[in-house]
Amino acid sequence: MSVSASLDIHLGEYRIMDIVGVYLRRGLSVFDCDGRAYIITSDDYDWDYLSVTFDELADIIAEKERIGSIIGIMLYENGEPVTELLKTTPEELSIDCDINRRTLDIGVSRRYTDVNWYVRKFIAPLEEDGFVIEEFEFWEFR
């Protein structure tokens, strides 16, 4: 059975690289263990690995944001994928909970997404750094 899960955060207007900076300061990275960034490269949600510097990546993202394109960027922890950040509107940030999904171990055959882990990892740091979370919602589809 396939599970899709997402955490959608409404922030008001924001710049995606400011959000990325919050997570970088907490030990996440935008580069995999081979030093590549995985980002959306078209408005058709095509993803591609790029061998770029951080400044080059920031320039690519800033230009996509300036023209109103969809922005997607993978975040890594110790070289392993943790989540994708997805910005499709100026106010909403989606956090994909499907990648290496953190689950609760409650001794049943069904595994439930550990929503608290995602709140601690992705929402609390934003508030700690001064972002105003207008609302957030978690959903899981089986």
> How are beta strands 47-50 and 103-104 bridged, if at all?
unpaired
Which residue positions in the chain have pLDDT lower than 70? 1
Tokens 């300061």 correspond to what residue?
25
pTM of the predicted model as reported, rounded to 2 decimal places: 0.91
Mean pLDDT of the chain: 93
Nearest Cα to Cα of residue 64 among 41, 91, 96, 92: 41
- Partners of 138 in beta bridges: 7
Task: Retrieve residue 37's tokens.
Answer: 């960034």
Tokens 């080059």 correspond to what residue?
56
What pLDDT does residue 1 have?
54
Where in the chain are the domains?
Answer: 10-130
